[in-house]
Structure formats: structure tokens, C-alpha cells
Amino acid sequence: MQTSKTTLTALALGLLASAAVAQTYPSKPVTIVVPYSAGGPVDNFIRALGQQLSESWKQPVVVLNKPGANEIIGADQVAKSAPDGYTLFAGTEASLTMSPHLYKKLPYHVETDFVPITQLVSLPLVLFTHKNTPANTVTEFVELARKAKAQDKPLTYGSTGAGGIAHLPIVTFEKQEGIQMTHVPYRGAANLIPDVISGQVDVAVLAVSVIEQHVKSGALKPLAVSSEVRSVALPQVPTFKEAGVKDIQAIFNIGLLAPKGTPAAVVDKVAASTRAVVVAPDFRQKHIDAFSYVPVASTPVEFRNFLASNSKLQAERVKASGVTLD
């Protein structure tokens, strides 16, 4: 069936209208909803990004903190906002690819309520243990875990909460290496780290920036970093592949999304503007490299593909863990 002239005309008019909107965008303040409290790493990064966007756009960029419920509160607010590009969401795996598999029902649906703009940065996580452990490599730790399980004294691993980014990758680690450990969930890294340092918990996985000081002081022993290349902050730590084991894909990502229906030209403009900020040498040095982030600055299509593949990964992890949060 041939496309009618009326349909073609409508499509052309729609594209022209979208382009016209993008030319004047933004003509008023833009709000970026951050699903965490002020002063945290995600909030600090988005505020730095927002300041640069404000200077580029000649319009205020307001950061609105909506913490709680594994980012669900903030995500829901943006999902129900007007699709005009003036309310954006700074989300991570928690709300975008984990929660859809951890909760039987959410007030939003990622695929139908959001349009991806860009994956801004990623933050590799490090598998680490206490300084007195006899294992100095990942393979030695795997062997230690196997022996402990055989003696009916399984090793323990801590996390910052069941079903989170510090939990599910170790579920993958156990499955890939054929080991079994006991999970000990904590309420945040501040409570977890001291117990790993003291040896009450055997192993954990946290962001490079979170444990960097403890590694450099000798209090913690890093085993491997989950990334393609070594961390600039901890160059002595091998990647999982270098350590001779399969990567556990323990990476924290921050992305920017808009409500579904936001004009494509506006989405593209925001993506281009944010990319220009993220790749700028001065911004990268102060707000990316300094906090052990890895710049990504993907296109909307690339970010959409990432979310699809990461969602599949998280679905497999959640199923293997048996965790549900409702």
C-alpha cells in the first residue's frame, strides 16, 4: 500500500514543527529531577552538568531532588510530566533496568513512559576484600570460596541492599565461577565498608570512588575492577578479564531521559548539548576523572540499545537471586 499524500504531508509538517520547537528550545527554565538527596554523587554530577547547560542554553537549569523508593518516586514524577523537554530525569539502573524486574508493579513503564536521551557516564565497581585475606587474586579468592563451602563454612559477601547494584553483580560472580557465599545486606556503603575492613564480611563490590581511599591506605585489598580498561584512580587493580575470569558487569551508569512524546528534535538537541559538556576537557577533569567516572555521552539510539541489553541482564540476575521488593 502506498503512503498517501495526506500522510506524507502530515509527517512533513510534524518534522517542521519539531524542528521549529528545537530552534527555540529552551525558552524557559529546564528542570532535571534527581532521585537522590542533595549532596550525593549523582546530585553533585547533575548539578555540575546543569550549570554548564545553563550557560550554553542561556536559561536556568534547576535540579529537583526527589529521593526514595529506589528512584521510583523521581521516575514516576517525570513519567507523568509534560513531554515538552522542560522536565528531564537523571536515572540509573535502579529505576530503569532493575526495578522493572524487582517489583511486580511500578507506577511507570520505562519503554512506554520515557524516551532515552543519553547515557552520561559510567562508574566501574571493584571487587574487594579485607587486607588479611589469604587471597591476592580473583582466582585465588574463588578457590578460597570453594574450600570454605566444602567445609560448610561459606564466605560472606556484603551489599548496600538486596537487589541493588552492589548485590546483583556478585550473584553473577557466584554463578559464573560456580561458588556459593552468604549474602549480608547493609543500609549503605558507610555501614558495609567497616565490616569488610575488620573481616566480619569477606568480600563486596563497590564503586572505585567509594573505596579508593581505603585501598590506598592498605585497609582493603582490591581484586579486580569491572571495566574494559583499568581505572585511572586505581591503576594497579586488574580488570576481571586481565585476572583471567569473566567480567561480572558491575558498572553504575547515569543517564538522562525525557517523558515519552518529547519532540525528537528536542531530544537530539539535549543529547548534543550534554555531549558537548561531558567531552569538554575542563569539565571532564573536574567532574568526571576526579570522581573515577568514565565519560560515555551516547546518542539517544545508543542509550536505548544499552537500556534494552542491560534490562535483559538485570532480569537474569534478579531471577537468579530470587529477590523481590514488593
Q: Please compute the mean of the pLDDT values over residues 185-193 and round it to a whole number.
A: 94
> For residue 306, is it within any domain?
yes
- In terms of DSSP bridges, do strands 87-91 and 114-130 run parallel, antiparallel, or are they unpaired? unpaired
Residues 6+ apart with CB under 8 A from 280: 52
End position of a domain, from candidates 210, 225, 240: 225
Same domain for 282 and 300, yes or no, is yes
- pLDDT score recorded for residue 8: 59
Residue 182 is assigned to a structural domain of this protein: yes
C-alpha cell at 129: 576484600
Whether 21 shows a pLDDT value over 70: the answer reads yes
The whole-chain average pLDDT of the chain stands at: 94
Tell whether omega for the bond before 26 is within 30 degrees of 0, i.e. cis.
yes
Within this chain, do residues 9 and 42 fall inside the same structural domain, yes or no? Answer: yes
**pLDDT of amino acid 14:** 54
- Mean pLDDT score, 2-26: 65
For 81-136, write each residue's pLDDT tens digit: 999 999 999 999 999 999 999 999 999 999 999 999 999 999 999 999 999 999 99
The span from the CA of 246 to the CA of 8, in Å, is 50
Is there a single domain that holds both residue 217 and residue 316?
A: no
Same domain for 107 and 256, yes or no, is yes
Domain at 45, CATH number: 3.40.190.150
pLDDT at 271 > cutoff 70? yes
Residues 216 and 135 both lie in one domain: yes
pLDDT of residue 16: 54
Alpha-carbon distance 73 to 107, whole Å? Answer: 9
- Domain boundary pick from 191, 225, 259: 225
Same domain for 116 and 12: yes
What integer is the mean pLDDT of 253-278? 98
What percent of the chain is modeled with pLDDT above 90? Answer: 92
Question: Who contacts 129 (Cβ-Cβ below 8 Å, separation ≥6)?
Answer: 135, 141, 196, 202, 203, 204, 220, 221, 223
- The letter for the amino acid at 320 is A
Q: Is residue 215 left, alpha or beta, with left meaning phi > 0 and alpha meaning psi from -120 to 50?
A: alpha
Q: State the average pLDDT over residues 255-275.
A: 98
Among the listed residues 236, 101, 234, 250, the one whose alpha carbon sits nearest the alpha carbon of residue 173: 250
* Same-domain status, 15 and 117: yes
Range of the domain at 211: 124-225
> Which band of pLDDT confidence, cut at 50, 70 and 90, is reported for residue 1?
very low
DSSP state of 270: H
Question: Tens digits of per-residue pLDDT, 129-181?
Answer: 999 999 999 999 999 999 999 999 999 999 999 999 999 999 999 999 999 99
What confidence score (pLDDT) does residue 309 get? 97
86 within some domain: yes
Q: Indicate the pTM of the whole model.
A: 0.90
Residues 92 and 23 in one domain: yes
Q: For residue 4, what pLDDT band results from cuts at 50, 70 and 90? A: low
Reduced to 3 states (helix: H, G, I; strand: E, B; else coil), residue 309 is: helix
What is the C-alpha separation between 274 and 256, in angstroms, rounded? 9
**pLDDT tens figures, 278-326:** 999 999 999 999 999 999 999 999 999 999 999 999 999 999 999 999 8
pLDDT at 18: 55
Q: Looking at the structure, do residues 269 and 172 belong to the same domain, yes or no?
A: no
Regarding whether 218 and 131 lie in a shared domain, the answer is yes
Task: Specify the pLDDT at position 7.
Answer: 61
Let me know if residue 9 belongs to a domain: yes
| Residue 119: predicted pLDDT | 98
Same domain, 118 and 135: no
Look at residue 184 and tell me if it is in a domain.
yes
**CA-wise closest residue to 172 among 157, 186, 161:** 157
For the chain, what is the domain count? 2
Nearest-angstrom CA–CA distance, 294 and 229? 10
Choosing from 186, 210, 225, the residue where a domain stops is 225
- Here the CATH number for the domain that contains residue 220 is 3.40.190.10
Quick check: is 75 in a domain? yes
Same domain assignment for residues 19 and 116: yes
Confidence class for position 22, pLDDT limits 50, 70, 90: confident
Q: Is 242 inside any structural domain?
A: no
**240 located within any domain:** no
